[in-house]
Amino acid sequence: MGAFTPYQMVRLWMIYLISTPLAFLLGQLMFIAQFEGWITILLSCCCSLFIVSFAVKLAAYDPRVEWGIFGERIMGKWPHKTIMLLIVFYCMLLLTVVVNAYRDFFGSTYLPGTPDWVVTGGFLVCVAVVSRSGLQTIVYMADGMFILVFGVSLLTLLFLPGSVWPDMSIALVTHWNGTTIWKSVLFVTPWFAEMMLVLIMLPHFRIHNKTMKYIMITKISSCLLIMLYWLITLFVFGPHLGGHLRFPLMELIRFVEIGNIIENLDPIMISLWSSSLFIKCVLLLYMAAHLLAQALKLPSHRPITFVLATLVYVFANGFMQRPAEFGAFVGSPSFAIFLLGVQLIPLLYLIVHKCRSIGAKSN
Amino acid sequence: MIVIILVFAAIAGMEWKYVRGQHTYFKRVYIMLWIVCLLFETAAMLWHWMPLPYTVVHLLLGWLDPLIQFKRQ
């Protein structure tokens, strides 16, 4: 236990947190929140910090032991196992959504003509091989990719085109609609609160009671980067066009030209986003397999990694055949509320623990 | 597409090398999990079932969708 440094955790989760919003969700945010997007991102960051703090507090009950093991002392054996299976399902649901969005994006742009099932299958085989190798491989991989992903993401901001309409910025302070804001916060908070999964791996990091500090560093940095990209995309496309583009950031990157050396930056950005999405998928599959192994009292997650990858393939394939249902599902309130419900599970443990300690005192 | 399922099943089957050296409980759980998943996946592909996450989330919380509309008014 405690094999990795806190900043390795920060790097891993920063890559995890920016991967999906930057690649796929900016368009939906622009569609729902329009000019209120900045306040939505800020509020969602605060809400998600609150949600993650429950997970950190729960992990602090026994910092040397993983939640999958000590959780049954709080909740009881079978309720705890049921909750673990629910989180396995949650990880696989997120993985299915990410894999499907990746296939949609990568397959349509760079592999036209390649059957979807080949793109998904090939990607999932790679994901399963890495997650089978365990947390150490994932953490080192994130370490290696971090400078590239963040370096290029920040550098790209400098090269963004001069077609920005700064006059639009006045709308950021004049547009206020409470209903839109709370609905957008409900939609965006689950993106950031995914960091609740840190509960599962916290004992592997040498953090010593400063977990919240590192979580705040991770969240604030990722939120700032997402907000910068959101602002620039908004100022280039405006909320109406931006909200109707499938991958607005990709369209934005296509505007960037650096002299004659690199005609367009999009292949570089795509390879980096693919890497960050890959790390996210690997981590989700690893956590699903790890939790399932703990729930079934198996000594290793390795043999079940491919079994779970096959299930994700079948789910993704089901969505591939129904693109309209997939789009509606990912943007639906039921999906957001389901994610939020699972992310609030640590709070349930804290409440049960409090009730039990009050009961024990009164006895 | 069923080919991919068979490929995955074969790779998962290759894990048997590792599982064989483990305790009987591990072997039993692994075989059961592998068979259940394979049967479910084959059935889902053959009869074009809706993806399980979609079905579960809709059954549990689908009633919320008409109440909260994310689309801007």
CATH for A6-362 (1.25.40.10, 1.10.3210.10, 1.20.1740.10, 1.10.10.10)? 1.20.1740.10
Size of chain A in residues: 363
B18 CB contacts (<8 Å, ≥6 apart)? Answer: A300, A302, A303
**What's the pLDDT at A117?**
86
Q: Cβ of A344 under 8 Å from any chain B Cβ? A: no
- State residue B39's pLDDT score: 87
- Cβ neighbours around A287 below 10 Å, total: 27
What pLDDT score was predicted for residue A256?
A: 66
Enumerate the residues of chain B whose CB falls inside 8 A of the CB of residue A92: 53
Question: What pLDDT shows up at residue A140?
Answer: 94
ipTM: 0.90
Domain enclosing residue B36, as ranges: 2-64
* pLDDT averaged over every residue in chain B: 83
| Segment 16-55 of chain B within 8 Å of chain A by CB | 18-19, 22, 25-26, 29-30, 33-34, 37-38, 40-41, 44-45, 48-54
A contacts of B33 (beta carbons < 8 Å): 296, 304, 307
Residue B45 to residue A319, Cβ atoms within 8 A: no
- In the predicted model, residues of chain A with pLDDT beneath 50 are none
Residue B12: list chain A partners with CB under 8 A.
303, 306-307, 310
Closest CA to A202 of A45, A6, A351: A6
A337 touching B, CB under 8 A? yes
Q: How confident is the model at residue B73 (pLDDT cuts 50, 70, 90)?
A: low
pLDDT at residue A161 in the model: 61
Q: Is residue B37 part of a domain?
A: yes
Domain assignment of residue B71, yes or no = no
Find out whether A264 and A109 touch, Cβ atoms under 8 Å: no
- CA nearest to B66 within chain A: A333
Report the domain count for chain B: 1
Half-sphere exposure in the Cβ direction for A260 (13 Å, CA): 0
Q: What would the pLDDT profile of B26-65 be if each residue is shown by its tens digit?
A: 889 988 998 898 888 888 888 888 888 899 999 999 999 8
Q: Decide if A265 touches B, using CB distance below 8 A.
A: no
CB A3 within 8 A of CB A136: yes
From residue B66, alpha-carbon distances to A18, A34, A332 in Å are 30, 22, 10
Eight-state DSSP code of residue A32: H
Nearest by CB: A310 against B19, B41, B67: B41
CA distance A29 to A230: 9
In a domain, B25, yes or no: yes
- Determine, yes or no, domain membership for B51: yes
- Residue A262 has a pLDDT of 57
Instruction: Report the run of H or E that residue A346 belongs to, with start and end.
Output: helix A345-362
Could you tell me if residue B70 is inside a domain? no
